[in-house]
Amino acid sequence: MALTPVEIRHVKLRKGFRGYNLSAVDRLLADIVESFEDVWRERADLADRVEQLDTDLTRHKELEELMRTTLVSAERSSHELKDQARREADLIVAEAHAEGRSVTRRAAAERERLEAELRRIKALLRSALETVEEEKNVQGEQRGGSAQAPSEVRRLVS
């Protein structure tokens, strides 16, 4: 039977011939010891529980700090990766623009070369046509007629 401090204070022991009734005192002391042992066990259990909760709290705080640092690290890595990707994309775009300008310059140079070659070939054709016409004129005069270059050749030269 668990006794509270108030109950212990109000216990009235019967007095016998030589003082208090010995069996009543022994019973009261046994009840007090039992109550005191219960309180001490409960106190020890609560102390263990407090210690366990303190350990859990410490572990949770450590986990929280680890998660916080991990999150900060992940955010930093994310920003660094985005910045690096942006720099690489800018570099790729710049290289593509440079390559595009280079291709355009090469194409323009090739076009100029081909136009110059075409002008040279046309000049050669004109010269050859003039030579052919002169030769035909000479032969035509010798034969008594006039000769002309084919219209296809004239169209190419003009």
What tens digit of pLDDT does each residue of 25-52 get?
Answer: 888 888 888 888 888 899 999 999 999 9
Sign of the torsion angle spanned by Cα atoms 146, 147, 152, 156: negative
Structural domain total, the chain? 1
d(CA 129, CA 147): 12
pLDDT, residue 115, reads 97
Per the model's pLDDT, the better-predicted residue between 89 and 34 turns out to be 89
Using an 8 Å Cβ cutoff, are 38 and 2 in contact?
A: yes
Using an 8 Å Cβ cutoff, are 14 and 8 in contact?
A: no
- pTM for this entry: 0.46
Question: Residue 19: which domain range?
Answer: 5-157
